[in-house]
Amino acid sequence: MIQIVEGKINREEIVKSVSTAQSGAIVTFDGTVRNHARGKRVTHLYYEAFPEMATRELEKIRTQAIRRWTLNGMAIVHRIGRMEIGESSVFIVVSAAHRGDAFEACEFAIDTLKTTVPIWKKEHYQDGEVWIEGCGQ
């Protein structure tokens, strides 16, 4: 499952989509909305995607991961639009026979996603809002 969604992320459904009888490990990464950034209190976030290209880039990540590690499945779902503190913005699930492959592939997926998938976030504070663009921000 590779998806860009506008509503809440359904974690259970995504986990189920990659669960197989051959899997001895399921590793998940849940990216959640944090209440602070750059020394400021964040009230909520807004994510925007270049949806068609983001989906293609997510597919590429999965293809690369499946080539590099021995996996049974990988699902990546990214939410766009407005999100409140504590809500999931991105959810990744990797299933494999053994945990080493699943951990490594999951870390690869989120690290690559952050640098190649065209999705941007805007942080909203009590006194304004800022697009977060560029490394190290």
Partner 1 sequence: MVRIRFFASLKDLVGGSEMEMKLEQETSVRSILHQLKARFPELKKYEPVLLVAVNQNYSGFDASVSPGDEVAFFPPLSGGRR
By the rule CB under 8 A, 59 interacts with partner 1: no
Which tokens sit at 121? Answer: 């976030």
38 in contact with partner 1 (CB under 8 A): no
CA–CA gap between residue 62 and residue 75 (Å, rounded): 8
d(CA 51, CA 127): 29
* CB 113, min distance to partner 1, A: 9
Pairing of strands 119-125, 40-49: antiparallel
Among 13, 20, 30, 132, binds partner 1 (CB under 8 A): 132
CA distances to 39, 68, 92, 112 from 72, in Å: 41, 12, 14, 20
Build a one-symbol-per-residue string for 81-100: x at contacts with partner 1 by CB under 8 A, - elsewhere. --------------------
Q: Which two tokens stand for residue 79?
A: 């939410």
Among 19, 67, 117, 124, binds partner 1 (CB under 8 A): 117
Task: Find the shortest distance in angstroms from Cβ 10 to partner 1.
Answer: 23
Binding positions for partner 1, rule: CB under 8 A = 48, 50, 52-53, 56, 111, 114-122, 131-137
